[in-house]
Structure 1
């Protein structure tokens, strides 16, 4: 998928621009996580700093209806860690996710034009974006990356006419990846259950 993304960008990017000019950024919700299902899943830095998001391990949080509407995650949303050792780590949200909101140490990035959501998602979850953030994040003991800093990232902008084919292919790629991640998560769940059963004997 990364190879296709790079090839597509090389063949279709017509201009270069800063992320801040093509996206909307938002800080996450402040609340205490709980293992009790009192509300939606509560996505945190810890959850996105892995190879993939294991939704079974993501905790919950209480939230009002108004705040839920403000912070609920949708397919194609990208969340970025804005502080700590994993500053700049990012994940793009898939289509088959539980009802979820994102925590305050994350920044959500959405393109102004929704047609670009997959393209921006791959750009922001790239090694180039991570290198940019970690190089420029302020604070030696506790690196910080706020929206103004994230917005300075420069990326190639493809022409919109080429996006439908790109989106179709990326959606297919992501569907396979998400399916594999779900199966891995189920296997981990079975493993944990078996370990608990054996240890209780």
Structure 2
């Protein structure tokens, strides 16, 4: 079935930028939604900061149910989020673009379209060529949207909503296993920052290969370079793992200038700008890849303890310590010097080995659940393709 297509600007009453303001976590005139507050297609409004701005600016940026916001720059360029159960007096930051759909299109249908290969192909084409990937409001407005009758839009959205609920349940099972690892860590070792057990502790910098040190990656990687060097970005780190499916590539000549962050496999990586604190162990399959400037590479000398160190970095107290070190407003992040000083506890080896043995068993369980999740993702992708090609 062939549907007409229309530019997004004909289907939206507003495609606009948010406001520039300082985030305040204690008080303010309105909740201040930022790119970093949108995680795994959800927002924990209790953790979203406040902001103050002139009344007219606040009124123009006020969010409502059915609005869709987009990340317009950085590693998450093109990621979108459909507003539901929006709190009163919530506005959005300038690094987001808001689309407010008209009655011509169902917001749920449009939100699902913004996850299709069709959409991402258009976004990548429009984002290329800039020193830092991004899309502006005019580029977003020119996106071509397939436009079936409104009743069909709502039917498609309802079907995909139900399928997405099943996806979320599988991911909740994976998250439960992840939280179990954290619970076991805390039970065995306690708060790694407060260190109530009095374990020996050293600074993170004391555990790394001195020839490489802790460094951040490529500052300006340029556009996509076919056959080039793979580059790991913040969006490629999720739930303590590196996702290799969506890696971008850069010119080998650009990558060659950042030898200290050339990956060998087995390093720890952690995001230090924007969404601070995402961390993972680099798989061996990424040997010779590199990282973006938003990520620091930690070339550990104790790879046999990597899982222990990863679990430590993912604890709430370690994440809170990292957040406390964040500086800046528009481009917030942590300095490498602060990261190097992060305290790392050194429990007895037999305790660490026991923990690693438990981690190995939990990892096997996660692998089985993720296998089902991957099969489910393929089914969902097929359903999504059929939905937007008129085959449902």
Cα root mean square deviation, aligned: 3.3
More helix by share: 1
The one of 115, 118, 135 equivalent to 2:304 is: 115
Change (3 A) 1:164 1:2: same
- 2:99 alignment counterpart: none
C-alpha separation in 1, matches of 2:251 and 2:279: 23
Structure 1 residues 55-88: Cα deviation after superposition (integer angstroms, max 9, x where no partner): 323334443696789522524x32211112x12x
Change (3 A) 1:105 1:14: same
Q: CA deviation at 1:98?
A: 5.7
- 1:80 alignment counterpart: 270
The one of 310, 317, 326 equivalent to 1:128 is: 317
SS, match of residue 199 in structure 2 = strand
SS, match of residue 270 in structure 2 = strand
- 1:139 alignment counterpart: 328
Using structure 2 for the length normalisation, give the TM-score.
0.43
Q: CA deviation at 1:137?
A: 1.3
Aligned residues: 197
Structure 1 residues 32-56: Cα deviation after superposition (integer angstroms, max 9, x where no partner): 463x762454220122266864432
Change (3 A) 1:195 1:149: same
- 1:91 alignment counterpart: 279
SS, match of residue 248 in structure 2 = coil
Asked which structure has the greater RCO (Cα within 8 Å, sep 6+), the reply is: 1
**Mapped pair 1:4 → 2:193:** no
| Consecutive unaligned residues in structure 2, runs of 5 or more | 1-180, 191-195
Q: CA deviation at 1:157?
A: 1.3
C-alpha separation in 1, matches of 2:371 and 2:335: 31
**Mapped pair 1:165 → 2:339:** no
Change (3 A) 1:13 1:167: farther
**Mapped pair 1:48 → 2:48:** no
The question of whether the paired residues in 1 share the 8 Å contact of 2:262 and 2:291 is answered with yes
C-alpha separation in 2, matches of 1:27 and 1:96: 19
The question of whether the paired residues in 2 share the 8 Å contact of 1:42 and 1:60 is answered with yes
**Mapped pair 1:14 → 2:199:** yes
SS, match of residue 174 in structure 1 = helix
Q: CA deviation at 1:132?
A: 1.0
The question of whether the paired residues in 1 share the 8 Å contact of 2:214 and 2:296 is answered with yes
Change (3 A) 1:70 1:81: closer
Structure 1 residues 141-187: Cα deviation after superposition (integer angstroms, max 9, x where no partner): 32121221112222321123443333232233234324533542443
Larger radius of gyration: 2
C-alpha separation in 2, matches of 1:52 and 1:114: 16
Using structure 1 for the length normalisation, give the TM-score.
0.76
C-alpha separation in 2, matches of 1:111 and 1:70: 13
- 2:107 alignment counterpart: none
